[in-house]
Amino acid sequence: MSTLNSNSPLALYLNGEWKNPGPPLEVTNPSTGEVIGSVSTVDRAGTRQAIADAESAWEVWKGLTGKERGTYLHAIAAGIEKRGDEIARAISLENGKPLAQAKGEVGMTLDHFQWFAEEAKRSYGRVVPNQLDGKRHLAIRQPIGVVGAIAPWNFPLVLAVRKVAPALAAGCPVLLKPASATPLCAVLLAEAIHEANLPKGVFQLLVGSAREIGPELMENPACRKITFTGSTEVGRELIRQSADQVKELSMELGGHAPFIIFDDADLDKAVEGALITKFRNTGQSCIASNRIYAQRGIYERFLDAFVEKAQALKVGDGMEDGVDIGPLIDEAAADTARQHIDAAVQSGARLLCGGKSPEGCGPNFLEATVLADVPEDTLCMTEETFAPVAPVSVFDDEDEAIRRANATEYGLAAYVFTENVNRAWRVAEALEAGTIGVNDSVPSTSQCPFGGMKHSGLGRELGTEGLDAFLETKHISFAQIS
């Protein structure tokens, strides 16, 4: 029987064993409101024990070669691939996203494991030229220690793995705390890790209240690093909490990506790019385009084509064939989106399509919504909407586009559509964001660094930087070598 069909609460993976330490947490399908399963939980004392077990496991894990750890990571990837359909189903059921997009998430997860399996062999140091006769200097890199990884619900598998895979590759034991809305795919990930026979305690799964697990991860000195993906609000709180322990942090926080279309853009490419960046994952993506700026010469043509395509997107249960837009994660998220739409309309924006739940769908659903002539100071232009709502605004010249795009506390991603290569370089270099897509609506990839500037975060995931995040640099100085 597959794990997902179990009638009893799913167990947590703690110190190499499956355990049921605390009361189950129910998991709900956001499409139907049905309870689809439950997972056991751990409290603060259980978290403390898991940290102690991880610390014991560290000796063994850091003693392996990078190649040996890489072999384990390849085995985990093989296990995920074998159960790819079941894992994608779990993601779609608990998060609501269309099944095809959940399968895409599983594919990217595999790629991340495979990338870091190879990177495990490459935690290079340096030989540094000496200034004094006889001295020799080395900078070596060593695993930082026990890692607490806190993940969000919007890409519940792949964003957890952006932490788990490099931490394991670097030689660090990891405690994964998934979002309470989406723990099922984390249990399946834990099963793949268990089947790959990692030493006990190297990977553990902590499901439960953030108020129980979070403070123990933050305050326990044996947990050396926190890697967090989630809202800027919670990120700020964790940064404050880290001060007493001077705890190492990586923070992947909120975004408010501008999507800039110049008059010289290829209209079809720009429309396709705006559709993908805005409506993929039902708009619940940290790199979703939140503000679409189109230059005056292309503005109305862009709106006509974009609205036509947005209206054709099928909204429904993520498990139904052909669905493009699933439900929002919960009713509160749908209410926020409706407030943003109402505020924009009240401040003079034109509602060109959407703005309501499709007939027959529940309150968590929202049609693809396009707003035009949206004033710069309305909610959807300043706060993350995290929904299929596309505010569009007109601009006149390049300087204005850059100034308005950068006028936000966020700096995660930005998109530029132009066929002028000189303009593409100028604008890409001027935008304040960690990732710039030039005529590219899907810029993230395992090999390249991902992360935010300004209030969008600290540090980078993926690429070679993804492994760096779990390594400390140590200088070794040799004197009197003759």
Q: Which residues bind ligand NAP (CB under 6 A)?
A: 150-154, 159, 177, 179-181, 210, 214, 229-231, 234, 237, 252-255, 286, 384, 412, 452, 456-457
Establish how many alpha carbons lie within 13 A of residue 392's alpha carbon, considering only the half-sphere containing its beta carbon: 29
Q: Which is nearer to ligand NAP, 347 or 382 (CB)?
A: 382
Q: Which is nearer to ligand NAP, 395 or 415 (CB)?
A: 415
Pick the closest to residue 12 from 27, 22, 1 (CA basis): 22
Please, what is the minimum distance in Å from the beta carbon of residue 205 to ligand NAP? 12
Q: Which is nearer to ligand NAP, 285 or 295 (CB)?
A: 285
DSSP 199: P
DSSP 9: P
Please, what is the minimum distance in Å from the beta carbon of residue 477 to ligand NAP? 38
Token duo for residue 257: 């990506």
Please, what is the minimum distance in Å from the beta carbon of residue 101 to ligand NAP? 14
Where in the sequence numbering do the catalytic residues fall? 252, 286
Q: Which is nearer to ligand NAP, 112 or 200 (CB)?
A: 112
Q: Which is nearer to ligand NAP, 303 or 467 (CB)?
A: 467
Inter-CA distances, 164 with 27, 87, 111, 203, 286, Å: 23, 17, 13, 8, 19
Inter-CA distances, 201 with 14, 17, 158, Å: 7, 9, 22
Please, what is the minimum distance in Å from the beta carbon of residue 394 to ligand NAP? 26
Q: What is the rounded CA–CA span in Å between residue 366 and residue 269? A: 25
At position 395, the amino acid (one-letter code) is F
CB 400 within 8 Å of CB 427: no
Q: Which is nearer to ligand NAP, 80 or 176 (CB)?
A: 176
Q: What is the rounded CA–CA span in Å between residue 431 and residue 437? A: 11
Establish how many alpha carbons lie within 13 A of residue 209's alpha carbon, considering only the half-sphere containing its beta carbon: 8
Please, what is the minimum distance in Å from the beta carbon of residue 97 to ligand NAP? 13
Please, what is the minimum distance in Å from the beta carbon of residue 238 to ligand NAP? 6
Inter-CA distances, 264 with 60, 81, 111, 421, Å: 58, 42, 35, 11
